[in-house]
Chain A
């Protein structure tokens, strides 16, 4: 089995089987808060993909080639949050200054991403589990695309739920959470999809 297939399989498995929101529980806040409209969830999802990829590309080398040789691997959380927050601010600054149209569609979601667990969770998880650089990229890509996929799907369901006849006590968040539970059960069905493939 060559590296490329392993890479693709790693992406798919962290995208679907081990989905960020529905089985690893990162980024529930934007998942519940920004999923009212399909457009806003799409914007949020794309912004998250961008920031997660950049953060993965910076954090892993930073940890491996600077923090570990210096003997201060325990500073990882501080370093990651600094990297992520600066990245978000710099990207926002750049977009704000040079591309108003992009700012209009993506810019407003950027400040929300600093406090999105998914970004820090991926960066931290990569180094905590001791993944290689290639695996980290696969994990970052899979996780962020999985987030985009789930948040857009969920917002489509929620727009239908708004008009559905739900019991009064379940209106709003409770029914959304039950829907998320059913989606999680559906994804459990994919578990073991690659178990026959020998890597």
Chain B
């Protein structure tokens, strides 16, 4: 198979920007709204999600010639569920605070559309390395999306950034930026999650619209310029002809 240069880099970056699973494809919205109350929970969710995505993508890609077309989806579901169980047990053993914070949402990675979607759309057709890079890109993109939501929710909702509550192996640090009297605690509530997600999507749509408008504007300018040039050329040829006629 011929590979274009820089394919790996492109493959990795597409999950973060052009095909960001949360903000562009609007997939995996349930954990995105539920686990973004604090930055720490978002990081934890992102990491667990990425681990499951990478492991299942790699295994699916490894077994892509063994699993027949007919039973693909059920086989993938079993593979993903197995990895989720493994990750869940590890979290329960080593990060019990994270386990109790995320709760059911660790198990719900099984039914996250992104994992099954990547397995079916990409890993079942490509080799292990490409699938690994693809899964890594998607996982990092999803984590960054979660972090950006958690940033606004924690900052506006508590006015502070706190670390060390969930990842207890680092010392507790809390930086209060907005005084406590002025925080908007609605952003810590479920309603705040919907508002933040809606506003982020609106801003992205706004930027996209602007870009399209600018492109249309450029195209229009180009058209006008070309029309004028054609006019000028026509005039010039007419003038030439006249000159020629006068001579």
Residues of B within 8 A of A180 (CB): 194, 198
The yes or no answer to A75 lying at the interface (CB within 8 A) is: yes
Interface residues as binary, B85-128 with A (CB distance below 8 Å gives 1, 0 otherwise):
10011000000000000011001101111001000000000000
Asked whether A85 and B77 contact (CB < 8 A) given A28-B33, A168-B209, the answer is yes
Stretch of A40-48, A57-65, A110-118 contacting B (4+ beta carbons < 8 Å): A110-118
Interface of B is mostly: helix
Residues of B within 8 A of A178 (CB): 194-195, 198-199
> Are the CB atoms of B209 and A174 closer together than 8 Å?
no
> Are the CB atoms of B103 and A128 closer together than 8 Å?
yes
| Contact among A22, A117, A171, A172 for B111, CB-based, below 8 A | A117
| Contact among B27, B85, B103, B195 for A77, CB-based, below 8 A | B85
Q: How far is the CA of A160 from the CA of B86 in the complex (A)?
A: 46
The yes or no answer to B148 lying at the interface (CB within 8 A) is: no
> Are the CB atoms of A28 and B29 closer together than 8 Å?
yes
| Contact among B85, B110, B197, B209 for A74, CB-based, below 8 A | B85
> Are the CB atoms of A74 and B77 closer together than 8 Å?
no
Q: Closest residue of chain B to A177, judged by CB?
A: B198
| Contact among B111, B189, B206 for A188, CB-based, below 8 A | B189
The yes or no answer to A185 lying at the interface (CB within 8 A) is: yes
> Are the CB atoms of B85 and A184 closer together than 8 Å?
no
Interface residues as binary, B1-37 with A (CB distance below 8 Å gives 1, 0 otherwise):
0000000000000000000000000110111011000
Residues of A within 8 A of B189 (CB): 184-185, 188
Interface residues as binary, A116-134 with B (CB distance below 8 Å gives 1, 0 otherwise):
1100110011001000000
Count chain A residues whose beta carbon lies closer than 8 angstroms to a beta carbon of B. Answer: 45
Q: How far is the CA of A28 from the CA of B110 in the complex (A)?
A: 15
| Contact among B30, B104, B193 for A29, CB-based, below 8 A | B30
Residues of A within 8 A of B195 (CB): 177-178, 181
| Contact among A78, A128, A170 for B85, CB-based, below 8 A | A78
Chain A CB within 10 Å, residue with most, of B81, B191, B199 = B191
Asked whether A184 and B108 contact (CB < 8 A) given A29-B113, A170-B202, A174-B198, the answer is no
Q: How far is the CA of A32 from the CA of B88 in the complex (A)?
A: 28
Chain A CB within 10 Å, residue with most, of B104, B111, B116, B201 = B111
Shortest distance between the CB of A70 and any CB in chain B (Å): 15
Asked whether A124 and B201 contact (CB < 8 A) given A115-B111, A177-B194, A181-B192, the answer is no
The yes or no answer to A94 lying at the interface (CB within 8 A) is: no
The yes or no answer to B245 lying at the interface (CB within 8 A) is: no
Size bracket of the B interface: 35 or more
Q: Closest residue of chain A to B89, judged by CB?
A: A74
The yes or no answer to B203 lying at the interface (CB within 8 A) is: yes
Q: How far is the CA of A16 from the CA of B209 in the complex (A)?
A: 38
> Are the CB atoms of B111 and A169 closer together than 8 Å?
no
Residues of B within 8 A of A117 (CB): 30, 108, 111
| Contact among A77, A82, A115, A167 for B84, CB-based, below 8 A | A77
Shortest distance between the CB of B194 and any CB in chain A (Å): 4
Q: How far is the CA of A121 from the CA of B77 in the complex (A)?
A: 16
Q: How far is the CA of A25 from the CA of B31 in the complex (A)?
A: 8
Q: Closest residue of chain A to B110, judged by CB?
A: A81
What are some 27 contacts across the A-B interface (CB < 8 A)?
A22-B190, A22-B194, A25-B190, A26-B30, A29-B29, A29-B30, A74-B85, A74-B89, A75-B85, A76-B107, A78-B85, A82-B78, A115-B113, A120-B108, A121-B104, A124-B104, A124-B108, A128-B103, A167-B202, A173-B201, A174-B205, A177-B197, A181-B192, A181-B198, A182-B191, A185-B186, A185-B191
Known: A32-B26, A78-B81. 13 other contacts (CB 8 A): A22-B190, A25-B34, A26-B30, A74-B88, A81-B110, A117-B108, A124-B108, A168-B206, A169-B206, A174-B201, A178-B195, A184-B194, A185-B189
Instruction: For the complex of A and B, list the 10 residue pairs with the smallest distance between their C-beta atoms, beginning with the closest.
Output: A177-B198, A181-B194, A169-B206, A174-B202, A25-B34, A184-B191, A28-B29, A78-B81, A181-B195, A181-B191
A interface, CB within 8 angstroms of B: 22-29, 32, 74-78, 80-82, 85, 114-117, 120-121, 124-125, 128, 167-178, 180-182, 184-185, 188
